Amino acid sequence: MAKFDIFLIKLSLVLFIEITCVLGKSFRTHKLDDEFSGLKTTKLSPDESNSNSLEYKVYNYTQTLDHFNFNPDSYMTFPQRYVVVDKYWGGTTNSSLIFVYTGETTDIIEDVKYGGFPPVLASRFNALLLYIEHRYYGTSTPFGSREEAYKNTTTLGYFTTEQVLADYAQLIIDVKKNMSAENCPVIVIGASLGGIHASWFRLKYPHIAYGAYASSTPILYFPGLGTPENGYSVVVSNNFNTTSTSCYNTIRESWFEIDRVAAQSDGLSSLSQMFNTCMPLNTSKDLKINLEARYNGWAEFDDPASNYLQLFCNATDEGGQKTYILNKIINGFVAMRGQRCINIVDFSPRYDSGWDWQTCTEMVIPTGRGENDTMFQADPFDLYKYTKECQQVFGVTPKPYQISLEFGGYGIKTVLEKFASNIIFSNGLRDPYSSGGVLQNISDSVLAINTQEGHHALDMNTPMATDPDWLVAQRDTVINVIQGWLSKYVVPN
């Protein structure tokens, strides 16, 4: 591929990160489907990508709206999309493996196209590969349309984690039955929110899933589980600091300079011109939130092929100490984005956002930070304010401890030791979400596979010849562990 084409693709990826990266301010938590910002780097080498030649079939399954009640509405159904890749499958005679990719907050076809490691796994194990779309995302929307599905709390009330996992259970059972594959073992795999679901699915439906492979899965980033609320921002800050201490200090000091300029007469107009914002700034907070969102996105998806932080920091450091601090930041943005204007994204919660609904009900991930513990200004998590905003947008009150109650977050080590087996928790420690992940082996079969240099869901990317040795070793370890599980699999009688 021509170098210019590669540059354009990487530039578009940077823009994608900027658009999709959701900031963890007082209301918003960092959006967990952003692994696609990283997975799309597979487009850099289409000649090496499985996704470009992957043959798949798309189906709609008649899914039950409500798996847990017997009200009249509970018997309603909706079309749930799923995708089958059978080119590698060894068939039912050999009880060949089935990999099930649990969807997250996006169109399932994105997973199929840009996540290149699952097809590699399917090829390695002669497995069937089944992708299932998350309800209320993509085309898997109840009530006939997205507009009706997101209409109010009555229609959104069926949008819960328990319902999602039950969807997967029902669909897997029926697909296996239709294919006469009842004796074939199932291993669920997923990344980020999909990885959370994969690990919980193994815990809740062990009779359906023989194992789970969960990449970049912050199952401990919920209230009361011991993860510091500043965990995400600390890792982002450390990533910048290890890239360049002077760059880290520049960002850290820039917030106060932005506030100083904004306080002057015509200060906001000056900031708009300096940063080349697409629209005039209303507040300095709008600018700071958008800068922070980009720093978070670049740090989260700074894979070895992209080196976003190195590119940004080289430009900020180039002018030396005499350069005006905000000009240093602007130089970094020009290096990353060219001369295009900076779009000031409104990160306010929206009633038609599925992720906002999830975070306003049960997926409460308390990201915040105090004074002087990161490169960002203090912004502690405020549950009271968070609750008020959820009530204002959706008319619902969050249940911050619901997830821990349902899936055993309290004393997770004891829970996993006593009740779990065959789970891989895979993390790169430069992924900010690794701060809420399982980073130590729990038992002989509940394993933590960590890499010091890895970023968010990097192991789910398409393997390439240019991958560093540590990434190759991480994937090889996953393969070896799954091979060990299968060696002990006993066909059901």
DSSP designation for 65:
S
Q: Which of 431, 434, 459, 467 is catalytic?
A: 431
- Active-site annotation holds for 37: no
| Catalytic, out of 134, 197, 455, 456 | 456
CB of 251 closer than 8 Å to CB of 375:
yes
Six-digit token pair at 318?
Answer: 């180039």
What the block records as the tokens of 15 is 């823009």
Q: Point out the catalytic residue in the list 45, 192, 216, 233.
A: 192
Q: How far from each other are the two terminal CA atoms of the chain, in whole angstroms? A: 52
Which amino acid belongs to residue 63? Answer: Q
Q: Can you spell out the DSSP letters for 389-419?
A: HHHHHHS----TTHHHHHHT-TTHHHHHHHH
Is the Cβ–Cβ distance between 36 and 107 less than 8 Å? no
Query: What number of CA atoms fall less than 13 Å from residue 405's CA on the CB side?
Result: 8
Q: Is 192 a catalytic residue?
A: yes
**Residue 150 DSSP class:** T
The reply to whether 107 belongs to the active site is no
DSSP letter at 128? Answer: E
Distance CA 434, CA 450 (A): 9
- Cα–Cα distance measured from residue 142 to residue 132, given in angstroms and rounded to the nearest whole number: 15
Q: Give Cα 361 to chain centroid, integer Å.
A: 18
Question: At which residue do the structure tokens 């500043």 appear?
Answer: 230
How many other C-beta atoms can be found within 10 angstroms of the C-beta atom of residue 53?
Answer: 10
* CB contact at 8 A, 90 and 103: no
Half-sphere exposure of 170 (CA within 13 A, CB side): 16
Distance CA 275, CA 209 (A): 51
Catalytic machinery residues: 192, 431, 456
